[in-house]
Structure 1
């Protein structure tokens, strides 16, 4: 019976693919490049960034115009397929390929929509969502402009701007989505429209925090900023035992809420395997975008409360040099292929009003110093500074966008890769990260108002509605039912019922 069901499923998929191929072919359809199962190039087109997932989409299609994209959405809708837009493809759970290991998705790759138009007079830029962050940084730099975004050059703009978009300038300029002025998009019924604070305002609100569940953004208008004249990338490192590492994290919590902390200070605590069992490699890494002469004075109170340093480095340069240094590679993504990994990731957004207590911090560091040391996994954890004094992220009202976590101090990214970054992913990797997060939350107050970050989306978060969307979930769900009642753009952990 199981064999018969599998055979029937395969026949249905083959039939759907055959019908789609005819509809995509000119003159009956838009005449776009498309890869179907069995085609040369399909395996590469359908490969996930996270090799823990092996999706098998019905087709991967490459529109060159917004009109072609709209036609593809209509075709997918007519065939009752899930339609997924892939910008850079870096979703941790393969959402751009339909999410997880699903095979019913029609994937629209945005890679041919890469126009960037900059208006120096208004300090705005309209950027198509097939662009990668590295290429955007280079294009804006031609005008001596910049915008807040992450450090990985291969991340696509679409998902990054839809779910948040944190970078070392975010305390100064906000998240990527905080700088969105308007969005050109395609709805689930194939309608081409626009959203801004004055046009489709409710959709505009939802797109900034839950965009992929609502529509496909084709291009986004952003506010941009004059690039800083100089940037210093700083890297401080300590080797600490469990007790001192837990205390050091508390020292950082106390430091960042001091009222004179400048917004030009962007930083994260980087936690990696210690030199010996029982130790943690504890690093403070970030970028200083202010007067170079004021960095030492800014960091001095934190360093004075810390144990002696093991190492410190400063790398100075202009804006684009700092972006390239933090990327660890060229920013021009056309010069080399993207990489892949096999990993599990989780996130935890901690409330500024209730910082991590001693028991939670100790449990966290104990897991790193012992289980982390003996693990065969390659891992790193980043305690990213969202809040603290004078943070632009926290200055935005909670209800201004669908991104709900405006009172967070940190977003902690937990990331562990398999041996040699290749499949299969071991069970110990899931347990290691799950235990670390549980160690923090179970040692925190029962009413601890923590969240999770949608750009680090995971596939094992049971209460995702609360952790990702918080008090905004019901409002998002109501809009979802209105504009996409059949769930064309649904994801496994998106806005659905």
Structure 2
């Protein structure tokens, strides 16, 4: 009897799904909205996640070209009680842009790539299907720039919706700090403008957790005159544990000293050493001051280090420096995007409680020993957010939904499978987790570290607190107000 009931339920569910698919096809066709469903040519490639650890099967992937078409898709999804998600560049680490779980309705924004720079204000209206590299090129043609990351294929929608760190950040702030207004499609299909004077609470929320509240179709950004000169730099050493630990300690001392100008943006980079007990230690970034002041700017830190094995310096224009440190071509139309199979985490270290020497040494020791034994391709980035001159930390905590305005460094431990393809080694999760615990276990038990929402993971305990801190309850209230049926949902969306 029970078997018969389950078979009947399965038949009903299959029939219901067929009906939903048929209805969606009809609705999208009536509005000339391109959509791919399972078994359609192109669907398999379209639903592939950037991180190949994830296999996600959306009910459909839509490609709107206008705000009106986005509204149609959202309303259709809401009527069918589907979770609706936006995909900009598609680089979510846990496939949130595909819904994170099967059955989502995806609003792929890749056909919406207009960029208009106002000739008077120099504000830029950017549709959210654009990728960072292409934006940089187009803005540069107008003599303008925007702070953003160096991975060129990342989409501006997610990047600006949850943070947006780049080497110009200490000078100009995070990407989201320069959002002046946006056009947002809500769960009921209505189209609203958000800014300081229009829907100010939603304007606050999309600058830190935008995908939970609506589909952001376009954003008006404040842009900046590009600096007349720029220096891209990369120095690499092979170091033992003591030398690398001391180098990191000196880097933190320099970062806290007040000697680091806002025009400096950089990070440390750790990779596998050539033998047990060694690490590859890199210092890289961009400097936007006069070229002849670069050496004196980094000297307080650099003079504490041994002679580097590799030194690559590019001095020239703003766009040349961006290209020199970019991951991928700035012109993303020249070749397809790549994929990876990886696990990554993050830790945002507060500036008012600096890392202890013990925590730094413990992490370097872990990388030099456990890291050498690992067969993964791994790295750890230590991005400099803070320091006295940092524009990132000068923004008041409650001005945006971004919850980490007291950050000195953001760590990103990242490990790929040996051939960058599935399956992902089960042991690698613990290996990456250990990179973080090597730090936290050597800090005070009440150390108030955070996590960066753009380096998202789905294994983080208490993720609501780590990603959103004191802002989470306010974000929950906003979610209840603008999306009471939880239409825009994915594994790490704001939960009522």
TM-score (norm 1): 0.96
- Is the aligned partner of 1:315 residue 2:314? yes
The 3-state SS of whatever aligns with 1:293 is: helix
TM-superposed CA distance for 1:389, in Å, is: 2.1
Instruction: Give the aligned partner of residue 63 of structure 2.
Output: 62
TM-superposed CA distance for 1:328, in Å, is: 4.3
Instruction: Give the aligned partner of residue 17 of structure 1.
Output: 21
Unaligned runs of 5+ in 1: none
Q: Deviations over 1:318-353 (max 9, x none)?
A: 111222222243212122111111110100000111
Which one is further off, 243-252 or 308-317?
308-317
Instruction: Give the aligned partner of residue 73 of structure 2.
Output: 72
TM-superposed CA distance for 1:484, in Å, is: 0.4
Q: Deviations over 1:284-330 (max 9, x none)?
A: 10101001111111111112223343332211221112222222432
Q: Deviations over 1:225-278 (max 9, x none)?
A: 111222111112222222222222111111011223210000000100112110
Report 1:172-321 matches (<5 A): 172-321=171-320
Contact 2:232/2:322, CA 8 A, preserved across alignment: no
TM-superposed CA distance for 1:358, in Å, is: 2.1
Instruction: Give the aligned partner of residue 453 of structure 1.
Output: 452
Instruction: Give the aligned partner of residue 483 of structure 1.
Output: 482
- Is the aligned partner of 1:432 residue 2:436? no
Q: Deviations over 1:424-471 (max 9, x none)?
A: 101121111011111211221011110000000001012111100000
RMSD: 1.5
Instruction: Give the aligned partner of residue 349 of structure 1.
Output: 348
TM-superposed CA distance for 1:6, in Å, is: 6.3
Instruction: Give the aligned partner of residue 46 of structure 1.
Output: 47
TM-superposed CA distance for 1:9, in Å, is: 4.7
Structure 1 CA distance for aligned equivalents of residues 44 and 229 of structure 2:
43
- Is the aligned partner of 1:97 residue 2:81? no
The 3-state SS of whatever aligns with 2:343 is: strand
Instruction: Give the aligned partner of residue 110 of structure 1.
Output: 109
- Is the aligned partner of 1:164 residue 2:163? yes
Instruction: Give the aligned partner of residue 140 of structure 1.
Output: 139
Contact 1:147/1:225, CA 8 A, preserved across alignment: yes
Structure 2 CA distance for aligned equivalents of residues 317 and 13 of structure 1:
57
Contact 1:16/1:58, CA 8 A, preserved across alignment: no
Instruction: Give the aligned partner of residue 407 of structure 1.
Output: 406
Structure 1 CA distance for aligned equivalents of residues 189 and 441 of structure 2:
46
Structure 1 CA distance for aligned equivalents of residues 6 and 44 of structure 2:
25
Structure 1 CA distance for aligned equivalents of residues 192 and 121 of structure 2:
23
The 3-state SS of whatever aligns with 1:240 is: strand
Q: Deviations over 1:133-154 (max 9, x none)?
A: 1110111011111110011111
Unaligned runs of 5+ in 2: none
Structure 1 CA distance for aligned equivalents of residues 468 and 388 of structure 2:
24
Number of equivalent positions = 492
TM-superposed CA distance for 1:10, in Å, is: 4.5
**1:3 to 1:371, Cα distance in 2 relative to 1, 3 A:** farther
Structure 1 CA distance for aligned equivalents of residues 81 and 349 of structure 2:
40
Structure 2 CA distance for aligned equivalents of residues 173 and 9 of structure 1:
52
Structure 1 CA distance for aligned equivalents of residues 373 and 88 of structure 2:
37
Instruction: Give the aligned partner of residue 388 of structure 1.
Output: 387
Q: Deviations over 1:155-186 (max 9, x none)?
A: 00000000000100000000000001001110
Contact 1:363/1:436, CA 8 A, preserved across alignment: no
Instruction: Give the aligned partner of residue 323 of structure 2.
Output: 324
Structure 2 CA distance for aligned equivalents of residues 302 and 333 of structure 1:
35
TM-superposed CA distance for 1:359, in Å, is: 2.3
The 3-state SS of whatever aligns with 1:332 is: coil
**1:363 to 1:6, Cα distance in 2 relative to 1, 3 A:** farther
Structure 1 CA distance for aligned equivalents of residues 429 and 17 of structure 2:
32
TM-superposed CA distance for 1:361, in Å, is: 1.4
Structure 2 CA distance for aligned equivalents of residues 311 and 108 of structure 1:
44
Which one is further off, 272-281 or 168-177?
272-281
Instruction: Give the aligned partner of residue 83 of structure 2.
Output: 82
The 3-state SS of whatever aligns with 2:85 is: strand
Structure 2 CA distance for aligned equivalents of residues 168 and 14 of structure 1:
49
